[in-house]
Structure 1
Amino acid sequence: MQKTERNFAGPATEAVFNRTRLEMARIFTKTSLKTEKVLFQWGLILLAVGFLLGRALILMEIMPFALPFFAAVLAIKKDKAALAGLAILAGAFSLSLQNGGVVFCSLFVFLLLHRFSGFITIDPLKKLPFTVFISMFLTKLGIFYLFSQGVTMYDFAFIAVEAGLSFILTMIFLQSVPLISYRKRKQSLKTEEVISLIILLASVMTGTIGWVMYGLSAEHVLSRYLVLIFAFVSGPTIGATVGVVTGLILSFANVTSLYEMSLLAFSGLLGGLLKDGKKMGASLGLIVGSLLIGLYSQAEQALSTNLYESLIAVALFLLTPTFLLKNLSKLVPGTSENMMEQQQYIRKVRDVTANRVEQFSNVFQALSDSFTQNGFYEEKRNEEKEIDYFLSSVTERTCQFCFKKEQCWAQQFDTTYEYLKEIMLEIDNNSLEQNPKLVREMDKHCVKSKKVIDVIEHELTYFKANQQLKSQIHESRRIVAEQLHGVSQVMNNFAQEIKRERENLNVQEEQIVEALRSFGMEINQIEIYSLEPGNVDVEMWVPYCHGRGECEKIIAPMLTDILGESIVVKNEECAKYPQGYCHVSFGSTKAYVVDTGVAHAAKGGGFVSGDSYSMIELNAGKYALAISDGMGNGERAHYESSETLQLLKQILQTGIEETIAIKSINSILSLRTSDEIFSTLDLAMIDLQDANVNFLKIGSTPSFIKRGDKVIKVQASNLPMGIIEEFEVDVVSEQMKAQDLLIMMSDGVFEGPRHVENYEMWMKRKIGELQTDDPQEIADLIMEEVIRTRSGLIEDDMTVVVAKLKHNTPKWSSIPTYAYRKKAQ
């Protein structure tokens, strides 16, 4: 029974605990919202800051804080300006009636000048510091004239210093007041905003000078508490900066606190260095700093007082909720929390962008599908229905008012319909005169046969024009469907690339750095963006090597051995001075490289050839070779062929598949002009990773692959581009090997030899007899051999493109690092 009770009591207790935890979280959230509402919406924080700044003094006489704070609140949060003004006056009058009167007069003069400054067409925030400067200067000058026997140069300097400080503090408070007057801030703080906030908080602390309890000063406790927070949140740099700024402002207010600056700066530095020890580590830094600085004072009482003040600051720091410190660290630049926040924001932007690109991709795909489903892509025309519409228009003009209409179309519908259809087809084929039997039968059947035949001939002209227009519309929509489909694929691939997040490769970075340093190479910094096979991307910052090429000769070979694939230097930015660092990018090399050679000649030895060629290296690790032959010769043929290759290059570089690209180009060429201007296209797409080649031949001559003594012919049957609107592209794939030669040529070369019956056998024999493997020499020799058979005459445009496939062998051998090879992989 006891065991059963425990089994039932466990879930019940856990449920009660969960309900209690949820209730506590709800109460905490509600309390936080109410606290934020009181502090920010009601302006309690501005009230407290204004009261303390109204009490703040420098050298026991100068009051430069009150008026700048009021001016900043008036400019940024005007609805709380009255509350801030009352708080400032309350703080000033709490010191003395004289201080309260000075602050009241300065506020009154400022409001008058601010009212009249509205007539000056300058940005209000830019003219505000000058208004504060003039107000403070005039107020102090008037008080000196009224209550002193005369104004000396020292008095003028005193007034100018106070007005100048007010001018500077106004610009500082304009940046820091928004930080304490709004509930939430989504962006991280700028460096100048952090410094402005520190100055504001240090200025507020000067308002607590004179607050002493049991011999402990409030400004010392609060200043050390502030240094602890920033040292723990931001590290030693910001911690020491906060200590210096806070101690400097406190020493201005009270000269006896000058040693406080060194204590706070040293404690901020130690606390930041020990922040890895969490709160206790930062607190230990303050205590150690207090003890070391306190030893300079000879009195034991001063040391104990100093230590007690630090302990109270540590107690306040330990009681500060951790989530508040984390939220603050997200706003301070340079912290790990801020960097994580920025990365999360970048990741969110990346995901939103990728999702938006995917949505566009889906939209384009849906549009393409809608064209396909509506019958504009591959649907055959319903010829019977179109013939029915045609014959209906004919009967409206001939049979509608005929007295035999009922007999022909009601009693003999099938016979009448077949006669009209046969006559239409005969007229369409221009063979009606060769079929007198059909004409005689039509005369016997119809009393208006001649009129019917004339109307059919007349309407058939419009019918053909309408059919041609429909065909062009059909083709245009097919182009749109294919282009939308291609764009959809490209955008979808782009969205996937955006989503590919940089992997966390810290372990591999450390291993590579360790391997390189064990070899004696000094590496300042390394960033690994990808270790994907065939797509390695590594960046390094290395010391300047005085032009010895250490990155190419040592680091790249070592990375080759560590990562197990060939790595080369992609880009190198050398240091500008000997002590600097070079920025080097390393990446994977392709398995194969292509050497090319070209030979071309225009008809009759002219300058303008109707042939065009192009060699395109694509980002997808492919290499494209293309030859286009425009119909005929001269400028028009050159324009057609070059335009075809230009369109091909632009479309392929977007990432659209080559078959879709060629179909799109064909459709564009067929619709662009009514002239019979056609062009051929011979395209070879070489994959530089596996040496597979896709051949797309549109009306072009065969290509040849030379592998040793063997010659392989590559051929496909497609009409030239622009002749027909719809055609399927035949893709021929061949697996090439290293040292293979690919020879592509235009018809001027393939069909150029004179007195040759079999051009293919002749070309195979000439290619097989070649004794060189240099691409340029092969292109020149083939061109020369063809021209020699014509006795030196060039009777057509001629182009030969030769490519040699080779293994990509780096200039430097890999350097073995067996201890780290498997780890990095």
Structure 2
Amino acid sequence: MEKVERDIIDPIGEVDFGKSRDSFSSFVHKFNTKLESFFLVKGYLLLIIGFLLGRALILGQLTPFALPFFAAVYLSRKDKAPLALIGLIAGAATLGITEAASNFVLSFFFLISYKIILNWKSKEQQLVPVFVFGLVFLGSLVKAYLLTNGFTLYGGMLAFVEGSLGYILTLIFLQSLPLMTVNKRRQALKTEEIVCLIIMLASIMTGTIGWAVYGLSIEHIMSRYLVLVFSFIAGATIGSTVGVVTGLIFSLASISSFYHMSLLAFSGLLGGLLKEGKKIGVALGLFIATLLIGMYGEGGGVLSVSLMETTIAVFLFLLTPKSLTSRIAKHIPGTAEYSQEQQQYMRKMRDVTAQRVSQFSNVFQALSKSFSSPNISEMIEEEDKELDYFLSNVTEKTCQTCFRKEHCWARNFNTTYDYMKDIMTEMADTGGNISPSLSREWDKHCTRSKKVTDAIHQELTLYQANQKLKKQVQESRKLVADQLLGVSEVMGDFAKEIQRERENHYKQEELILEAIQEFGIHIENVEIYSLEQGNVDIDITIPYNTGYGECEKLIAPMLSDILGETIIVNKEEVSEYSNDYSHATFRSAKAYTVETGVAHAAKDGGFISGDSYSTIELGLGKYAMAISDGMGNGKRAHVESEETLQLLQKILQSGIEEQVAIKSINSILSLRTTDEIFSTLDLAMIDLQNAAVKFLKIGSTPSFIKRGSKIMKIQASNLPMGILQEFDVDVVSEQLKAGDLLIMMSDGVFEGPKHVENFEIWMKRKIKELKTENPQEVADLIMEEVIRSRLGLIEDDMTVLVAKIDHNIPKWASIPVKGFKQMAN
């Protein structure tokens, strides 16, 4: 009973409140939509703006706003130009019939001149301000002539000033009018667009000069409200700019409003500085400015009126919905809303890009599956079908016309089928011969045994050629499948990398900045991209360049102590000028370093060797060492080996796995030419974080690892590249230690010693006898020993590549930072 009551009573209240909230939100949304449609879409906002600009004055007698506004509306929204014209004439009528008639006549002449411009030049927007200047200038001269019954110098100067203002205002209105009439705008406002918008808003508010309610000036209330809004949205810079521009235009319209410019500018500055206190802080800035400027100015009763005007402006400001201020702030650079909008846009673009890359990865993966070999059952079924087709071709040529056809194939099908299958199998294994016992049994079974065996032998040649071709196609398909799968994995990893955002490390950046500056080193900026252990990435800007290595000797050791791992200078951009900024990038140091040495010689002391070598530091924390030996000697062998290593380097740097990279290179070499040109490849991939090494040897000689007095041989059996289209790559893994020497060599060195029965034992003995651990000296000594054993003759291309693995010990020890704990990643 209690549960039933709860089910009946509780949901009623929830539904009622939910409906109330939903209905109120729906009402507000519909109301805002209708307002936007009425003022923006239907254009009645232009009617109101036209009315205010039509009655706006400068210097008490100039009205330069009407024609520029009409021209701008006609060029941007021609269908709403009649509404703007009605507003302008109605506003001018409040000043006098003469002004209303003048605005109508000038607008009429503008339309005629605009038609002339269209027939004369296509870029009418460039000439419209000039025509506005001419029309306003001539109209002002005519008006002055009619009022004074003649031309005067003063009247001509006023006409020129009014025409110049018309020219400038036309340019301003053309910039700012689209910002007020277009509902959805995606681009950020430029600085000149913001200034033009402020000038236009201030010009509109000059139309309210003279309006007062209970002695309170409408233009003062609206101008202060405008300064409050922009100070709250964009801060002190934009707020003070709005105050200065608005006050300047008001002072041009009425000399009595000159002191108002100081009040607006000061309030914009204070409001922007106090914007951290939200709306209350901005409002407080306006009150302080009103009190200070009011007491400094006229004081007394004027101060009380000014405070009342400020109070009403603040009240309107507090009633302004946050949605409106946020909407405006999204288009002003420097605001938090603008940054958030930009980040949202960049995040969306990043997600779209990652999604497209992921889709491409899926496509390549699907293509890889489609190229993969069929399963075992399908392959067996297909082989059975091919065998049946083979035997059917044989029987068509032999058994079809035989009188014993019914006996062999209808009554003894299985026996005949098995005999022919065995004959085919033995011929395939022995090169066309069959055993005597099988031949006797077949002669007893078949009356045309000789003819059938000849037919089987003939068809077998075609069958084997077909099978070989089919096998090559399958191998090629498998290779393509592996390559596509490798590309798919690389693109998948790239998609994941794109989706990794730069983490916010504002707190850590401030801590590092404070710690380094307290030590006495002045740095300008710190940007942290990653604090992951072993993958630290920090950029620091330094406002000077002394050339004494502060980054390497001081900043990097301090970062090492702060982050709890060894940090080194990865890249440093030193400014050419002593008073300019320098930039340095700091990264995690690798746990191990590799020092290499190489010795090589061409056959008979020539200049071009068929051997090529390469040492590549990959961006994945790996170090690759490779030797390639082209078949033969000379330029052709050098081109083959060099091209092999270049292909290897480019494929490894793309992120594709080593085995897939080698198979891809082998495919290219085997399919590229029909000449018997092959290359060996000896590759060692060293992980600089844990010193693990992987050896991939393709037709190459053994490598050796020297650890103290212990010598270890590394060997794998694979044919040289380019001989077979498909082969399995044997990977040998070893764990290196600090102080180990890794020695790789070509066959010219390993098999070079003369009068030696066992090359491996001889090479181990020579390596063990080495008294040095310098990689270059080791390479030179091994090369010298081999050449000396040949009595100075170099009978083949020779290359020795030696690497020494050691702990990465930074040049400078870490500098402890007092009172600073190691930063948590």
TM-score where L is the length of structure 1: 0.94
Greater Cα offset, 307-316 or 132-141: 132-141
Residue 695 in structure 1 maps to residue 676 in structure 2: no
Mapped partners of 1:97, 1:713: distance in 2: 108
Structure 1 residue matching 2:821: 3-state secondary structure: helix
Greater Cα offset, 601-610 or 401-410: 401-410
The residue aligned with 2:211 is 211
The residue aligned with 1:98 is 98
**Structure 2 letter corresponding to 1:177:** L
The residue aligned with 2:634 is 634
Q: Is the 8 A contact 1:113 1:135 kept in 2?
A: no
Task: Report the alpha carbon displacement of residue 449 of structure 1 after superposing the two structures with TM.
Answer: 5.4
Structure 1 pair 399/83, CA: closer, same or farther in 2 (3 Å)?
farther
Residues 242-268 of structure 1, C-alpha deviations (whole Å, 9 max, x = no match): 001111111111122111111110110
The residue aligned with 1:301 is 301
Q: Is the 8 A contact 1:530 1:536 kept in 2?
A: yes
Mapped partners of 1:315, 1:491: distance in 2: 57
The residue aligned with 1:520 is 520
Structure 2 residue matching 1:596: 3-state secondary structure: strand
Structure 2 residue matching 1:258: 3-state secondary structure: helix
Greater Cα offset, 597-606 or 242-251: 597-606
Task: Report the alpha carbon displacement of residue 12 of structure 1 after superposing the two structures with TM.
Answer: 4.9
The residue aligned with 1:194 is 194
**Structure 1 letter corresponding to 2:609:** S
Structure 1 pair 491/381, CA: closer, same or farther in 2 (3 Å)?
farther
Task: Report the alpha carbon displacement of residue 778 of structure 1 after superposing the two structures with TM.
Answer: 0.9
Residue 569 in structure 1 maps to residue 586 in structure 2: no
Structure 2 residue matching 1:822: 3-state secondary structure: coil
The residue aligned with 1:482 is 482
Identity %: 61
Residues 86-127 of structure 1, C-alpha deviations (whole Å, 9 max, x = no match): 222222222211111221122111111111211234334334
Task: Report the alpha carbon displacement of residue 394 of structure 1 after superposing the two structures with TM.
Answer: 3.4
Residue 594 in structure 1 maps to residue 594 in structure 2: yes
**Structure 2 letter corresponding to 1:647:** L
Residues 361-413 of structure 1, C-alpha deviations (whole Å, 9 max, x = no match): 22222222233374599967943332222232333344445554433332333
Mapped partners of 1:125, 1:375: distance in 2: 72
The residue aligned with 1:777 is 777
The residue aligned with 1:55 is 55
Mapped partners of 2:367, 2:791: distance in 1: 58
Mapped partners of 1:212, 1:538: distance in 2: 60
Mapped partners of 2:373, 2:43: distance in 1: 64
**Structure 1 letter corresponding to 2:87:** A
Structure 1 residue matching 2:720: 3-state secondary structure: coil
Greater Cα offset, 499-508 or 310-319: 499-508
Q: Is the 8 A contact 1:592 1:808 kept in 2?
A: yes
The residue aligned with 1:647 is 647
Q: Is the 8 A contact 1:236 1:269 kept in 2?
A: yes
Residues 685-721 of structure 1, C-alpha deviations (whole Å, 9 max, x = no match): 0001111111111121111111122211111222222
Structural mapping, 1:156-167, within 5 Å? 156-167=156-167
Mapped partners of 1:434, 1:823: distance in 2: 81
Residue 278 in structure 1 maps to residue 247 in structure 2: no
Q: Is the 8 A contact 2:65 2:169 kept in 1?
A: yes
Residues 762-809 of structure 1, C-alpha deviations (whole Å, 9 max, x = no match): 101100111111111111111111111111111111111001112222
Structure 1 pair 378/392, CA: closer, same or farther in 2 (3 Å)?
closer
Q: Is the 8 A contact 1:188 1:332 kept in 2?
A: yes
Mapped partners of 2:137, 2:393: distance in 1: 98
Mapped partners of 2:209, 2:523: distance in 1: 52
Task: Report the alpha carbon displacement of residue 349 of structure 1 after superposing the two structures with TM.
Answer: 1.8
Mapped partners of 2:437, 2:692: distance in 1: 63
Mapped partners of 1:739, 1:331: distance in 2: 61
Task: Report the alpha carbon displacement of residue 272 of structure 1 after superposing the two structures with TM.
Answer: 0.6
**Structure 1 letter corresponding to 2:771:** Q
Greater Cα offset, 67-76 or 575-584: 575-584
The residue aligned with 1:331 is 331
Mapped partners of 2:580, 2:493: distance in 1: 40
The residue aligned with 1:711 is 711
Task: Report the alpha carbon displacement of residue 227 of structure 1 after superposing the two structures with TM.
Answer: 0.3
Task: Report the alpha carbon displacement of residue 143 of structure 1 after superposing the two structures with TM.
Answer: 4.6
Mapped partners of 1:6, 1:453: distance in 2: 95
Structure 1 pair 377/790, CA: closer, same or farther in 2 (3 Å)?
farther
Task: Report the alpha carbon displacement of residue 514 of structure 1 after superposing the two structures with TM.
Answer: 2.3
Mapped partners of 1:7, 1:432: distance in 2: 91
Mapped partners of 2:672, 2:375: distance in 1: 23
Greater Cα offset, 279-288 or 395-404: 395-404
Structure 2 residue matching 1:24: 3-state secondary structure: helix
Residues 568-610 of structure 1, C-alpha deviations (whole Å, 9 max, x = no match): 1222233454444322221111111111111111222222222
Structure 2 residue matching 1:569: 3-state secondary structure: strand
Task: Report the alpha carbon displacement of residue 52 of structure 1 after superposing the two structures with TM.
Answer: 1.1
Mapped partners of 1:468, 1:106: distance in 2: 92
Structure 1 residue matching 2:510: 3-state secondary structure: helix
Mapped partners of 1:383, 1:8: distance in 2: 74
Q: Is the 8 A contact 1:358 1:495 kept in 2?
A: yes
Task: Report the alpha carbon displacement of residue 154 of structure 1 after superposing the two structures with TM.
Answer: 4.4
**Structure 2 letter corresponding to 1:332:** I
The residue aligned with 2:72 is 72
Q: Is the 8 A contact 2:545 2:575 kept in 1?
A: no
Task: Report the alpha carbon displacement of residue 307 of structure 1 after superposing the two structures with TM.
Answer: 1.8
Greater Cα offset, 366-375 or 494-503: 366-375
Structure 1 pair 141/453, CA: closer, same or farther in 2 (3 Å)?
farther
**Structure 1 letter corresponding to 2:213:** M
Q: Is the 8 A contact 1:511 1:824 kept in 2?
A: no
The residue aligned with 1:392 is 392
TM-score where L is the length of structure 2: 0.94
Structure 1 residue matching 2:296: 3-state secondary structure: coil
Structure 2 residue matching 1:600: 3-state secondary structure: strand
Q: Is the 8 A contact 2:394 2:456 kept in 1?
A: yes
Q: Is the 8 A contact 1:377 1:481 kept in 2?
A: no
Greater Cα offset, 605-614 or 770-779: 605-614
Structure 1 pair 208/294, CA: closer, same or farther in 2 (3 Å)?
same
Structure 2 residue matching 1:613: 3-state secondary structure: strand
Structure 1 pair 391/634, CA: closer, same or farther in 2 (3 Å)?
farther
The residue aligned with 2:259 is 259
The residue aligned with 2:618 is 618
Q: Is the 8 A contact 1:377 1:478 kept in 2?
A: no
Q: Is the 8 A contact 2:479 2:726 kept in 1?
A: no
Task: Report the alpha carbon displacement of residue 439 of structure 1 after superposing the two structures with TM.
Answer: 6.1
Mapped partners of 2:359, 2:377: distance in 1: 23
Task: Report the alpha carbon displacement of residue 153 of structure 1 after superposing the two structures with TM.
Answer: 4.9
The residue aligned with 1:81 is 81
Structure 1 residue matching 2:103: 3-state secondary structure: helix
Structure 1 pair 468/66, CA: closer, same or farther in 2 (3 Å)?
farther
Q: Is the 8 A contact 1:679 1:721 kept in 2?
A: yes
The residue aligned with 1:492 is 492
Greater Cα offset, 630-639 or 211-220: 630-639
Specify every segment of 5 or more residues in structure 2 that has no aligned partner in the other structure, as ranges: none
Structure 1 pair 468/116, CA: closer, same or farther in 2 (3 Å)?
farther
Residues 32-74 of structure 1, C-alpha deviations (whole Å, 9 max, x = no match): 2122211211212222112211222211232222222222222
| RMSD over aligned Cα atoms | 2.7
Specify every segment of 5 or more residues in structure 1 that has no aligned partner in the other structure, as ranges: none
The residue aligned with 2:468 is 468
Q: Is the 8 A contact 2:615 2:623 kept in 1?
A: yes
Mapped partners of 2:317, 2:333: distance in 1: 21
Q: Is the 8 A contact 2:651 2:661 kept in 1?
A: yes
Task: Report the alpha carbon displacement of residue 557 of structure 1 after superposing the two structures with TM.
Answer: 0.5
Greater Cα offset, 184-193 or 800-809: 184-193
Greater Cα offset, 371-380 or 75-84: 371-380
The residue aligned with 1:728 is 728
Greater Cα offset, 121-130 or 108-117: 121-130
Q: Is the 8 A contact 2:602 2:609 kept in 1?
A: yes
The residue aligned with 2:606 is 606
Q: Is the 8 A contact 1:593 1:806 kept in 2?
A: yes
Residues 285-325 of structure 1, C-alpha deviations (whole Å, 9 max, x = no match): 11111111112334522222222211111111111112221
Mapped partners of 2:500, 2:388: distance in 1: 57
